């Protein structure tokens, strides 16, 4: 089996599994003062240091969550609520057109629920790169404080956003910045990307850690009101007993991912795309004129639907994703590709191949072999 869907979930690293086994053996509530509780807390705090190092953040700023979606939800809701409490009311919330639904959907919900909050979308160009000129105009228009949310890198296309320029514009406007670094973590050095961000979201299972655990970095001084109450965990920023085993696995995966950043998968990705172009001259690879994550290739072969391709590749033992979101068995066009101006017909042919820490040349060859069969069948049908 060739697994090429690391942007969805990267298989667990052996280091993460071992760390979780140690945590399971210890047991204990990290809030308890007895030996088992202290041992659990020590594991958790070691992991916090590892995640902080991956994020380029201070250890005290790391808040563990149930995943990246919760981290984004906590920021958007917590920042807005804290602004109201502290008299720093946010009146504008800007999100890019290519954000993950955990940002987009919550932004829309906040706009409907919070009086006086205007939610606007920052456009992107044909390669999926944020239009910083449009952001500059948006920040200058209107009154009141703004919160800006941007990905460091897109989960579908791998396109890397100009976070340094965005940060500069945000600072000039005395606004606040959320950087969703979930896809960039482990693939890019984050310290330069997140240096000026007020909030950073992360997820363990994207870097070979366990599912169901993530982290939110809340910089000192950034407005933030706890959304879960009833306990003093995470310095009263998120109540509830922590997932010690998951956090331990996250920490181990963070250590491994930080070591592996220099071991780029770019050669695998580039060789795959070269073979892809030889296979189908009309293939469209999205975001090629922009900086992209070295592991991600989002492409479409006109006339070969993603729905058909996913099933055919899976039968051949090759696991990839579509550039479209599936819901209840129906495939709808990707909002990311739509924001880039890609036609609906082409978007419905989009596939995403994403390499990871255990990917090999054999995985890439298997994908090309399966695609070769698929394209051959499609051409035969058209010829008939």
Would you name the residues annotated as active-site residues? 326
The enclosing H or E element of 300 equals strand 296-300
Range list of H helices, the chain: 14-26, 35-55, 68-86, 101-113, 132-140, 163-172, 191-194, 233-236, 244-260, 266-279, 306-315, 335-339, 344-347, 361-383
Q: What are phi and psi of 124, to 5 degrees?
A: -125, 165
Beta bridge partners of 350: 300
Q: Could you tell me the CA-to-CA distances from 182 to 54, 79, 224, 233 in Å, in that order?
A: 11, 19, 20, 23
Cβ neighbours of residue 197 under 8 Å, at least 6 residues apart? 163, 167, 177, 178, 179, 217, 219
Cα–Cα distances (Å) from 53 to 61, 179, 217, 256, in that order, read 11, 16, 11, 11
* Residues sharing a CB contact under 8 Å with residue 187, sequence separation 6 or more, in sequence order: 153, 261, 293, 294, 295
Among residues 23, 96, 94, 52, which one has the least CA distance to residue 247? 23
- On whether the CB atoms of residues 196 and 62 are closer than 8 A, the answer is no
Judge contact between 64 and 251, C-beta under 8 A: no
CA distance 47 to 246: 10
């Amino acid at each position: 089996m060739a697994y090429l869907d690391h942007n969805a979930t990267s298989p667990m690293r052996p280091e993460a599994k071992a760390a979780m086994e140690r945590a399971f053996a210890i047991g204990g509530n990290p809030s308890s003062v007895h030996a088992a509780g202290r041992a659990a807390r020590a594991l958790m705090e070691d992991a916090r240091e590892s995640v902080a190092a991956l994020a380029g953040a201070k250890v005290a700023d790391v808040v563990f969550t149930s995943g990246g979606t919760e981290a984004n939800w906590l920021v958007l809701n917590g920042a807005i609520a804290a602004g109201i409490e502290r008299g720093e009311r946010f009146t504008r919330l800007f999100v890019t057109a290519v954000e993950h639904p955990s940002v987009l959907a919550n932004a829309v919900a906040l706009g409907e629920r919070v009086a006086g909050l205007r939610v606007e979308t920052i456009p992107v160009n044909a390669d999926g790169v944020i239009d910083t000129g449009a952001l500059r105009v948006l920040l200058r228009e209107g009154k009141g404080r703004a919160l800006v949310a941007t990905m460091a890198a897109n989960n579908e296309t791998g396109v890397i956003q100009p976070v340094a320029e965005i940060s500069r514009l945000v600072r000039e406007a005395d606004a606040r910045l959320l950087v969703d670094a979930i896809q960039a973590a482990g693939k890019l050095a984050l310290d330069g990307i997140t240096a000026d961000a007020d909030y950073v979201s992360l997820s363990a299972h994207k870097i070979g850690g366990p599912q169901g655990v993530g982290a939110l970095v809340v910089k000192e001084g950034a407005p933030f009101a706890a959304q879960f109450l009833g306990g003093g965990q995470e310095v009263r920023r998120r109540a509830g007993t922590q997932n010690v085993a998951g956090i331990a696995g996250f920490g181990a995966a963070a250590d491994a991912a930080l070591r592996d950043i220099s071991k780029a998968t770019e050669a695998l990705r580039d060789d795959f795309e070269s073979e892809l172009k030889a296979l189908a001259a009309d293939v469209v690879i999205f975001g090629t004129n922009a900086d992209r994550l070295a592991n991600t290739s989002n492409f479409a072969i006109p006339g070969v639907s993603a729905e058909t391709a996913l099933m055919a590749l899976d039968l051949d033992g090759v696991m990839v994703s579509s550039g479209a979101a599936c819901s209840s068995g129906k495939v709808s066009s990707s909002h990311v590709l739509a924001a880039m101006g890609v036609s609906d017909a082409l978007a419905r042919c989009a596939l995403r191949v994403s390499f990871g820490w255990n990917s090999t040349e054999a995985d890439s060859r298997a994908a090309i072999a399966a695609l070769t069969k698929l394209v051959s069948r499609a051409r035969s049908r058209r010829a008939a």
